[in-house]
Amino acid sequence: MRTRTLDCPTCGTMQSFRFLHKEEKAAVREKEGPDFFVDNLWRCTGKGCLTYYAQFNKAGYGRLPEKFLAQEAAADE
């Protein structure tokens, strides 16, 4: 999995980020509109964190729906 260390505005620390999964991209498009560009979005992999943002646009960060929290926790085990 491709990751990158970025500053997370929610965790307040440097975190490992990864690209969004297909379902996560779909959820972002549902919120932002069908034409929203989602292929450069990074998601924080910090425990309990749903923050994502486009590279170089930390100020425009958003949060994924809570359902992706359970999925991430399950993947940890």
Show Cβ contacts of residue 71 under 8 Å, excluding neighbours closer than 6 positions. Answer: none
Contact 41, 19 (CB under 8 A): yes
Residue 52 and residue 42 in contact, taking contact as beta carbons nearer than 8 Å: yes
16 makes contact with Zn ion (CB under 5 A)? no
What does the per-residue mask of binding to Zn ion show for 24-63, with x meaning CB under 5 A? --------------------x-x--x-x------------
> Interacting stretch for Zn ion, rule CB under 5 A, among 15-23, 33-41, 52-60, 67-75?
15-23
Minimum distance from CB of 17 to Zn ion (Å)? Answer: 8
69 within 8 A of 47, measured Cβ to Cβ: no
CB of 35 to Zn ion, least distance (A): 27
Q: Of how many residues is the chain composed?
A: 77
Contact footprint for Zn ion (CB under 5 A): 8, 10-11, 15, 44, 46, 49, 51
